[in-house]
Structure 1
Amino acid sequence: MAARILHRLRHALSGEGGREERACGSAEAEDCPESSELEDDTEGLSTRLSGTLSFTSHEEEEEEEAEGAGEELGQPPQPAAAGAEDGEWGPAAERAGGSSLLTRQLQELWRRSRGSLAPQRLLFEVTSASVVSERSSKYVLYTIYLIRSGRFDKAPAAIARRYSDFERLNRCLRCRFGCDMAGIAFPRKRLRQNFTAETIAKRSRAFEQFLSHLHSIAEIRRSPEFLEFFFLQDLQAAQRLTCTGMYREALATWANAYRLQDRLGACGSSRFLLTLAGLAVCHQELDELGEAHGCCEQALQLLEAQGSHPLLGPFLQAHIHLAWKVGKDKRRSEARLQDLREAGPPLQQQPTLKECLIKEPLE
């Protein structure tokens, strides 16, 4: 019917001198029924929309941003050239209007959402795996990096764990979080071919997915079992190194434990305060007084809302001593220490920060 109306309109405009055109129009009306018009229109719509989500390369994207700058300021988009060749979205004569605008709008929306709505999440990546042979055992040691997406970490947080460590974590979490763990897969133990490249590669990917799935469940990622899987071994090793006077090696291990807790969002726990104490002690022993003072300040900020804590007095004493050494203000810490002295045991009976660090049981 639309073809017939178009034919009559052409007939009225052309007058008596357009017999050839009328004949052609009549043939079109006979050869093109309504069903074929709908099919043709559907094909044209499909062709016009076929390129709306096809994004260009980075260089072409920058050119489009420059061309679309006027649109962001409220200016109308520039129409496509009349003589443009057929491109990604079909003939230019058919698609220079709506489809070009729609494509540009969708691309602009995608670019904006890509930068503003990208979620910040923690990624677990197995960067290497090595076969370790000891006197009575042989195992694979997997190195896992904790990476925050959308940020550049100058110093990565890393752990090295073997299959038995993952298996112990899986067993503990299934005992406590049976329902949440029901849908989480864990790679099975094999009797043979545990040290082939194929098995190690498959397990590496499986461990990445395993940790990511655990971290996606709020109750599990806040549980002591999950958190201490990452940093308890570092804390124990750092404590042993500190007790034996190997402060440079201990400092690196304390620092990695600090980064792990920071990535995992565990900066309000007693373990984190102990980590700050280890950093402060090692920095002070290595004559890095400014860094030690900064660790004490961070710990005192975390302890600001707490009236009493076993590490509050030792941190205040260390902060006052270091502030005097580096020429910083120590009056606030002195006042807090005076209040603490009046409410608790005499100052002489309070242990130093190093003594607290050595005596703290880490299990």
Structure 2
Amino acid sequence: MASRILHRLRHALTREGEQEALADCGSEAEEFPESSELEDDTEGLSTRLSGTLSFTSHYEEEEEEEEKEAEDEAAPGGTGQGPGEALGPELLGVGPGDRAHDPTMPERQGSNMLTRQLQELWRKSRDSLVPQRLLFEVTSASVVNERSSKYVLYTIYLIRAGQFDKAPATITRRYSDFEELHRVLRHRFGSRMAGVSFPRKRLRRNFTAETIAKRSRAFEQLLSHLHSLPDIRQSAEFLEFFFLSDLQAAQRLTCTGMYCEALAAWSNAHRLQDKLGACHSSHFLLTLAGLAVCHQELDQLAEAHACSEQALRLLGAQDSHPLLAPFLQAYVHLTWMLGKDKRQAEARLQSLQDSGLAGPQPPSLKELLIKQPLP
């Protein structure tokens, strides 16, 4: 409803406010965004204005609005006027005395006031947005038949908004996975999740195209809403929903020597963590270790060296971190294999051994990776 009102106001303002926009461009153009930027954030504004997450489809919302408009026009006193007239001069902040002086004054004053209100609303909402917005898009859904169960598997792409994302990350999840995420987050963030509904289970018609389409849209809205809340976005429960299964599969494949398959799983986990802003966690260091091991086993030494180097930059001066010595050991070996200078890394590894922070024979990255427990 809010997005529809904003859409109408925007068209009304385009017709009525061109003169004012040109006259005020010297003062307000620097303070407020272009109308195109305001339009880009309409969906975000409508989500925040609604208060409660809605899981009805876009087409259903349009049909409901059209039906309501038809009823209003058919009702006694219904005028069927446009957006600016339907609001009424009193709501636009114009009194009867003003109309007597200038017939065009109500539209102009109303236009200016509404423009300022929308600009102020845009400015406040922009402050609450995350620095890099993510889009969650269900690209496909397939019905899976197993011996004892039948379910729908949804494929979701994570894409950075506002730019061409050449490497989107992908996850596949079932309805029960989303339901478990919702349950866990409600338990931990009760007040923050109070206004978030969840598509209920159905006794029948769970596998119809209509039900699957509605749930796909619902899951997109749910993930976008959760990602807009900083405390939930940074929580382990929310982050692990995306990449924990990839880490578990990658670790299992690495242990069995299936390095090509493991590399694909480690790489997707890396993309997911990068897009979600989880690049300073122990999970991310474990992912870099997995990438380095698989690249090295597949004789991709430059890629393995780059992963080890990135991990050492993240570790910085954390001399007591259990992954530091294994990463240094791998980095020294790979640097030597590539014919580069390894003296600085070699000296740091020796210093750790002399101080007792690393044993005389620290475990290799592969050994540590295999023994590392995952939930």
TM-score w.r.t. the length of structure 2 is 0.68
- Are 2:86 and 1:163 equivalent residues in the alignment? no
In the alignment, structure 1 residue 141 sits paired with structure 2 residue 64: no
CA distance in 2, matches of 1:214, 1:246: 35
Equivalent residue of 2:191, what SS? helix
1:327 aligned residue: 339
Aligned residues: 276
The DSSP-based 3-state class of the residue aligned with 1:178 is coil
Alignment partners' CA distance in 1, 2:20 and 2:275:
45
**Residue among 118, 142, 146 paired with 1:130:** 142
Say which of 222, 229, 233 aligns to 1:217: 229
Structure 2 partner of 1:318: 330
Distance 1:307 1:110 in 2: 47
Show the counterpart of 1:284: 296
Q: Contact 2:315–2:324 at 8 Å: present in 1 too?
A: yes
- Identical amino acids, percent of aligned pairs: 70
Which of residues 82, 94, 114 in structure 1 aligns to 2:37? 114
Instruction: Tell me if structure 1 keeps the 8 A contact 2:289–2:365.
Output: yes
Identify which of 257, 261, 282 aligns with 1:245: 257
**Equivalent-residue separation in structure 2 for 1:51 and 1:99 (angstroms):** 15
Structure 1 pair 287–184 and aligned structure 2 pair: CA distance change class (3 A): same
Distance 1:219 1:101, change over 3 A: closer
- Aligned partners of 1:51, 1:323: CA distance in 2, in Å? 61
Paired with 1:99 and 1:339, the residues of 2 have a C-alpha distance of 70
Name the aligned partner's letter for residue 114 of structure 1.
E
Name the aligned partner's letter for residue 270 of structure 1.
S
Stretches of structure 2 lacking an aligned partner (at least 5 in a row)? 1-9, 41-122
Partner of 2:164: 152
- Of 280, 302, 310 in structure 2, the residue corresponding to residue 268 of structure 1 is 280
The CA distance in 2 between the partners of 1:271 and 1:164, in whole Å, is 24
Return 314-323 or 116-125, whichever deviates more.
116-125
Report the counterpart of residue 207 of structure 1 in structure 2.
219
Q: Answer yes or no: is the 8 Å Cα contact 1:132–1:139 preserved in 2.
A: yes
User: Partners in 2 of 1:193 and 1:340 — Cα distance?
Assistant: 63
- Alpha-carbon distance in structure 2 between the residues aligned to 1:225 and 1:99: 49
1:16-31 to 2 correspondences below 5 Å: none
Would you say 1:307 and 2:319 are equivalent positions? yes
- Per the alignment, in what secondary structure is the counterpart of residue 192 of structure 2? helix
Tell me which of the two structures has the higher relative contact order, counting C-alpha pairs closer than 8 angstroms and 6 or more residues apart.
Answer: 2
SS for the counterpart of 1:307 is coil
In the TM superposition, what whole-angstrom CA distance separates every residue of 1:71-101 from its partner, at most 9, and x where no partner exists? xxxxxxxxxxxxxxxxx78xxxxx9xx5694
CA 1:314–1:178 in structure 2 vs 1: closer, same or farther (change >3 Å)? same
Provide the C-alpha distance between the structure 2 equivalents of 1:239 and 1:338, rounded to a whole number of angstroms.
29
| Residue of structure 2 in register with 1:341 after alignment | 353
Cα displacement (A) at 1:161: 0.2
Shift of 1:344: 2.0
Aligned position for 2:368 = 356
Deviations 1:36-87 (A, max 9, x none): xxxxxxxxxxxxxx98953xxxxxxxxxxxxxxxxxxxxxxxxxxxxxxxxx
Structure 2 partner of 1:258: 270
Match 1:232 to one of 215, 222, 244: 244
Query: Structure 2 CA distance, aligned partners of 1:209 and 1:282?
Result: 36
Instruction: Give the Cα separation in 1 of the matches to 2:270 and 2:343.
Output: 28
* C-alpha distance in structure 2 between counterparts of 1:326 and 1:125, whole Å: 41
Tell me if structure 1 keeps the 8 A contact 2:288–2:308.
yes
Higher-Rg structure is 1
Say if 1:126 and 1:145, in contact at 8 Å, map to a contact too.
yes
C-alpha distance in 2, partners of 1:201/1:240? 34
Q: Deviations over 1:238-281 (max 9, x none)?
A: 11111111111111110000000001100000000000000000
Note closer, same or farther for the CA distance 1:104–1:200 as it changes in structure 2 (3 Å cut).
Answer: same
Deviation at 1:213, TM superposition (A): 1.3
Asked if 2 retains the 8 angstrom alpha-carbon contact of 1:52 and 1:103, the reply is: no
Matched, 1:189 2:178: no
Judged with a 3 Å threshold, the aligned counterparts in structure 2 of structure 1 residues 182 and 330 are, in CA distance, closer, same or farther, namely same
Q: Quick one: structure 1 residues 328 and 101, their matched pair in 2 at CA, closer, same or farther if it must change by over 3 Å?
A: same
Of 216-225 and 113-122, the range deviating more from structure 2: 113-122
Distance 2:202 2:217 in 1: 16
How far does the alpha carbon of each residue in 1:152-190 deviate from its partner, in whole angstroms, 9 at most, with x for none? 221110100001111111111111111111111111111
- Report how far residue 149 of structure 1 moved: 0.7
Instruction: Compute the displacement of 1:150 (Å).
Output: 1.4
Partners of 1:264 and 1:183 in 2: how far apart? Answer: 23
1:260-306 alpha-carbon deviations (Å, 9 max, x no partner):
00011000000000000000000000000000000000000010031
Letter in 1 for 2:292: A
CA-CA distance at 1:349 after TM superposition: 3.7
Normalising by structure 1, report the TM-score: 0.70
| Conserved? CA contact 2:325–2:358, under 8 Å | no
Counterpart-to-counterpart distance in 2, 1:216 and 1:112: 23
